[in-house]
Amino acid sequence: MWVASSTASVLTPTTVALGKFDGVHLGHQRVIQPILQSALNENRQMGRRGDESDLPQNQVTSQTQPQELTYSTVVTFRPHPQEFFTGTPRTWLTPLDEKVQQLRSLGVQQLVLLPFDKELSALSPEEFVEKILIQQLQCQRISVGQDFCFGKQRQGTAQDLQLLAAKHNIPVTIVPLQTHTDNLSDSGFVSLPPISTSLIRQCLESGDIKSANLCLGRPYTLFGIVIQGQQLGRTIGFPTANLQIPSDKFLPRQGVYAVRVCILSDTADATIPQLILGVMNIGNRPTVNGTNSSVEVHLFDWSSDLYGKKFAVQLIEFLRPEQKFASLEALKTQIQQDCTIARKILSEEC
């Protein structure tokens, strides 16, 4: 997938999905879907092929003569507008590397990171359409969520975009907000509010991992490198891998989680990576007078050296908040209970 940090390096013409897309959750995926299908259809109808490396495998046609391609493109902003206006760094459900990975898995061909600066923020809705979408992106089709706003002081709505684009014969798909209803309790069906990045962040902050995962359409995952820790877990029979998590990654509620872990390989490997079950603690380790927040994972039935390995830790269920115990023995007893509960939960998930 091609990643452009400015419109100067964009592959054109484009079909565009507009938004922030932090999380690439189920609602985002619905916004992206129309431009994937549109680009595919246009390339087939026009007999376009191009270099097969430009297209996901499922979008390569049987035509033989290379012609101009239409690129399915996700357009977002960097930095986040909120970060630009407040000056406060923001943590992400999907930092850039993760966002690229998720978009690539959907079949998106291009990600454009519009530099959100004083000039861009001052554009009127009309100017944004004319300068960015028409002139620079050569947009052929657009898809947005129904709550999309754009232009100076967020004056433009999705309906405004539809009207402005229609003047250039550019169709705009407005995707309704998606809700997710699932049987989350024994008492009956629980209906969540419309899926959004803010809802997922709230779920993670409260430890409601099941709801967050339902909205994402996949487990919320932490990626990190195993680094040297204090090795206190070894002294009570529960060795842990201390993870260095990117500073811009959004961390959920402090406490203990049932997790599945994939140890990522540095080499290209076609085999399906092994998922290892375990428990994870996010917190300050108050029982041993810890002061700095850490992320530690204990893997079940694993003894090999892990230093320097990259973990993908899938959060499955929140078990309990972090707490201070009177002794290491009391902590050991609680961890044993955590492991027993986690094994049961994870065995039912598999």
Q: What is the mean pLDDT of the chain?
A: 87
Quote the strand ranges of 62-191, DSSP E: 71-78, 110-115, 139-145, 149-150, 156-157, 172-175, 181-185, 188-191
pLDDT of residue 55: 46
Cα–Cα distance measured from residue 321 to residue 344, given in angstroms and rounded to the nearest whole number: 19
Q: Is the pLDDT of residue 161 over 60?
A: yes
3-class secondary structure, 295: strand
Per residue in 85-109, pLDDT (tens digit) is: 999 999 999 999 999 999 999 999 9
Phi first, then psi: give them for residue 245, nearest 5 degrees: -100, 140
Integer Cα distance of 82 and 45 in angstroms: 41
**Helix ranges restricted to H, 220-305:** 232-235
Mean pLDDT lowest among 111-120, 134-143, 210-219, 235-244? 235-244
pLDDT score for 274: 78
Mean per-residue pLDDT for 306-319? 95
* pLDDT for res 56: 44
Please state which of the ranges 48-52, 70-74, 109-113, 276-280 shows the lowest mean pLDDT.
Answer: 48-52
**Is the model's pLDDT at 38 over the cut of 80?**
no
Lowest mean pLDDT among 27-41, 85-99, 158-172, 311-325: 27-41
- Three-point CA angle 325, 327, 330, nearest 5°: 70
Question: What is the rounded average pLDDT of the residues 176-183?
Answer: 71
Could you give the CA distance from residue 208 to residue 253 in angstroms, rounded to a whole number? 9
Tokens representing 44?
Answer: 């087939």
DSSP 31-90: HHHHHHHHHHHHHHHTT----GGGS-GGG--S--S--PPPEEEEEEEES-HHHHHH----
Least confident of 159-168, 209-218, 232-241: 232-241
CA-based nearest residue to 110, from 176, 42, 55, 58: 55
DSSP letter at 272 equals P
- Grade residue 13 by pLDDT with cuts at 50, 70 and 90: very high
pLDDT band with cut points at 50, 70 and 90 for residue 311: very high
- Measured from the Cβ of residue 138, the count of other Cβ atoms closer than 10 Å reads 15
As beta bridge partners, residue 71 has: 14
> What is the CA 211 to chain-centroid distance, rounded?
15
Q: Among 55-64, 102-111, 267-276, name the most confident range.
A: 102-111
Residue 3 CB neighbour total at 10 angstroms: 14
pLDDT at position 64 is 36
| pLDDT tens sequence across 222-264 | 999 999 876 665 666 788 999 999 999 999 999 999 999 999 9
- What does pTM read for this prediction? 0.86
Instruction: Give me the domains of the chain, ranges plus CATH numbers.
Output: 2-175 (3.40.50.620), 213-349 (2.40.30.30)
Q: Are 131 and 125 in contact (CB under 8 A)?
A: no
pLDDT reading at 148 higher than 80: yes
Mean pLDDT of 315-339: 92
More confident residue, 289 or 261: 261
Contact of 298 with 313, CB cutoff 8 Å? no
Asked if the model's pLDDT at residue 112 lies above 50, the reply is yes
Confidence at 203, pLDDT banded by 50, 70, 90: very high
The answer, yes or no, to whether residue 347 has pLDDT greater than 50, is yes
Task: Characterize 5-35 residue by residue with b for buried, 16 or more Cβ atoms within 10 angstroms of its Cβ, and e for exposed.
Answer: eebeebbbbbbbbbbbbbbbbbbbbbbbbbb
The pLDDT assigned to 185 comes to 46
Tokens of 117: 């600066």
Torsion over CA: 200, 88, 321, 102 (sign): positive
CA–CA gap between residue 219 and residue 261 (Å, rounded): 11
Q: Which of 155, 284, 310 minimizes the C-alpha distance to 227?
A: 310
